[in-house]
Amino acid sequence: MAGNSVILEQEQRVTNAVSPSQNRFALISLTTLFFMWGFITCLNDILIPHLKAIFDLTYTQSMLVQFCFFGAYFLVSLPAGQLVKKVGYQKGIVAGLVVAAFGCLMFYPAASMHSYPMFLSALFVLASGITILQVSANPYVTLLGSKESASSRLTMTQAFNSLGTTVAPYLGALFILNEAAHSMSAPSADSVKVPYLILTAALLLLAAIFAWLRLPHISSAETSSDEVVSGSAWQYRHLVLGAVGIFVYVGAEVSIGSFLINFFGEANIASLEESEAAKYLTYYWAGAMVGRFIGAAVMQKVSATKVLSFNAFFAVLLVSVAILTSGSMAMWAILLVGLCNSIMFPTIFSLALNGLDKHTSQGAGILCLAIVGGAIVPLIQGVLADVVGVQLSFVIPVLCYSYIVYYGLSGATPVLTNNQEQR
């Protein structure tokens, strides 16, 4: 077994050493995927109020959009990991793009049928495709180069994901909400048809391009049908703790974003109308984008664990300031958390996959499974907000970021279990 491990490591080094320019080209190509799924995910913020008005939904019913979307991560991540293990990263990317395109296409009949359940089904299929993309692309980026710079590479590509989340609200409002607002008739779902048909075409075009591209082949995380891999990704302590880290991070990020408008409307904060408060969301998401570009450069010189714990500590500090103060200080403190969020997801992801070798695709599936925190943590904060108010409910993100401080300081260190072979 030890000899086989050495051979596998040598094979991976040979594969990765095919051409540095190939790796660089692959990374440039992958940035389009990160932008696309960031764009599509953030469009949910536009769909929720739009569908709520069309179908006269309660807030609970409208939040089914997020539950269906993040529920796909929970249900599809592990099967997606198995798929990628069998077919490889590039074919996994193509499969994810095709499934996501089919989900976008389903918006057309959903709008024609004026069916909310059909919209929810379309969202689930769309999110399933994005889940396959995440399971394929995230670990692929971490393996395209040296282990030491994995967090930096993934942070850079995730910066383009943040660019998608920054651009999407503007374009979504322009092509979906504005069209609906200027319609002389009753609210209609027809305004989603053209935008999602354009997304369908864009995703299918990307699928064709990635099927044609000759990307570096990394065999170390793939298995043949007759190959038996001993052990499991679950035996890696730093992966399991990293999955908890992804759960609480995504939960905290989505929670804060979901409550910002209500928070800014509080009398002791800014008393902003919803339309005005919504404009400030750009600062939150743009902060994450800017921070990822900065973080990608910083982590070329500073260890990923130190940067992660540093950012998480300041997130705890800023959210605490937002809880304990009022006015513009509380408002800008919570907005600055977006800057702290910037490097957390890609850094936790890459640290958790460190050293998994043949279990990398399974590990990526487990980490994507943990994204379901985006559905559960906001719900917990919502229950607390009903009891103690919006401002005090931000104690939930404080607890989430406190865990990430621990993970950066200690939990991310790989520790061999009894089931793992010493090399």
Question: For position 262, which CATH number holds?
Answer: 1.20.1250.20
Contact between 145 and 16 (Cβ < 8 Å): yes
Query: Does 244 fall in a domain?
Result: yes
What does the pLDDT average to over 281-309?
84
For residue 297, the one-letter residue type is: A
By C-alpha distance, which of 79, 5, 57, 34 is closest to 361?
Answer: 79
Q: What is the pTM of this model?
A: 0.70
Query: Does 1 fall in a domain?
Result: no
Question: What DSSP character marks residue 176?
Answer: I
Distance CA 99, CA 103 (A): 6
Per the listing, tokens 């950012």 go with 311
Same structural domain, 133 and 272: no
Q: Which of 189, 215, 241 is the last residue of a domain?
A: 215
SS3 62: helix
Same structural domain, 318 and 404: yes
Percent of the chain with pLDDT over 70: 79
Q: Residue 94 pLDDT more than 50?
A: yes
What does the pLDDT average to over 298-315?
91
Terminal C-alpha separation, the chain: 9
Residue 214 confidence (pLDDT)? 74
Contact between 401 and 312 (Cβ < 8 Å): yes
Contact between 250 and 165 (Cβ < 8 Å): no
| Assigned token pair, 154 | 């993934």
- List C-alpha distances in Å: 134 to 38, 39, 100, 403: 11, 14, 12, 23
Distance CA 338, CA 345 (A): 12
Query: Does 93 fall in a domain?
Result: yes
Distance CA 108, CA 136 (A): 28
Per the listing, tokens 């939990």 go with 411
**Helix residue ranges, H only, 144-236:** 150-172, 178-181, 193-212
Under the banding of pLDDT at 50, 70 and 90, the label for residue 309 is very high
- Summarised one tens digit per residue, pLDDT across range 358-417 is 787 778 778 878 888 988 888 788 878 888 888 999 999 999 999 999 999 988 887 655
Q: How many CB atoms lie within 10 A of CB 419?
A: 11
Q: Residue 53 pLDDT more than 80?
A: no
Distance CA 187, CA 55 (A): 9
By C-alpha distance, which of 126, 97, 104 is closest to 192?
Answer: 104
Same structural domain, 195 and 277: no
Residue 230 confidence (pLDDT)? 61
Under the banding of pLDDT at 50, 70 and 90, the label for residue 320 is very high
Query: Does 205 fall in a domain?
Result: yes
Name which residue leads in pLDDT, 147 or 325: 325
Under the banding of pLDDT at 50, 70 and 90, the label for residue 36 is confident
Structural domain that includes position 245: 233-423
Under the banding of pLDDT at 50, 70 and 90, the label for residue 160 is confident
Q: Which residues of 139-162 are buried (b: 16+ CB within 10 A; e: fewer)?
A: bbbbbbbeeebbbbbbbbbbbbbb
What does the pLDDT average to over 218-245?
71
Distance CA 20, CA 29 (A): 14
For residue 15, the one-letter residue type is: T
By C-alpha distance, which of 276, 287, 280, 272 is closest to 336?
Answer: 287
By C-alpha distance, which of 360, 395, 414 is closest to 241?
Answer: 414
Same structural domain, 372 and 414: yes
Average pLDDT, the chain: 79
Residue 2 confidence (pLDDT)? 33
Same structural domain, 342 and 298: yes
| Assigned token pair, 189 | 């779902």
Same structural domain, 194 and 255: no
Query: Does 196 fall in a domain?
Result: yes
Same structural domain, 158 and 294: no
Distance CA 138, CA 154 (A): 7
Q: Which of 68-72, 136-140, 197-201 has the highest mean pLDDT?
A: 197-201
Same structural domain, 203 and 267: no
Residue 215 confidence (pLDDT)? 67
Same structural domain, 264 and 318: yes
Continuous segment of H or E residues that includes residue 254: helix 237-264
- The total domain count for the chain is 2
Residue 95 confidence (pLDDT)? 92
Name which residue leads in pLDDT, 356 or 159: 356
Query: Does 222 fall in a domain?
Result: no
Same structural domain, 204 and 73: yes
- What is the separation of C-alpha 145 from the centre of its chain, rounded to a whole number of angstroms? 22
Q: Residue 420 pLDDT more than 90?
A: no
Continuous segment of H or E residues that includes residue 147: none
Query: Does 405 fall in a domain?
Result: yes
Q: Which of 215, 244, 266 is the last residue of a domain?
A: 215
Same structural domain, 113 and 243: no
What does the pLDDT average to over 33-52?
78
Same structural domain, 272 and 180: no
Percent of the chain with pLDDT over 90: 26
Q: Which of 165, 188, 215 is the last residue of a domain?
A: 215
Query: Does 60 fall in a domain?
Result: yes
Continuous segment of H or E residues that includes residue 111: helix 107-113
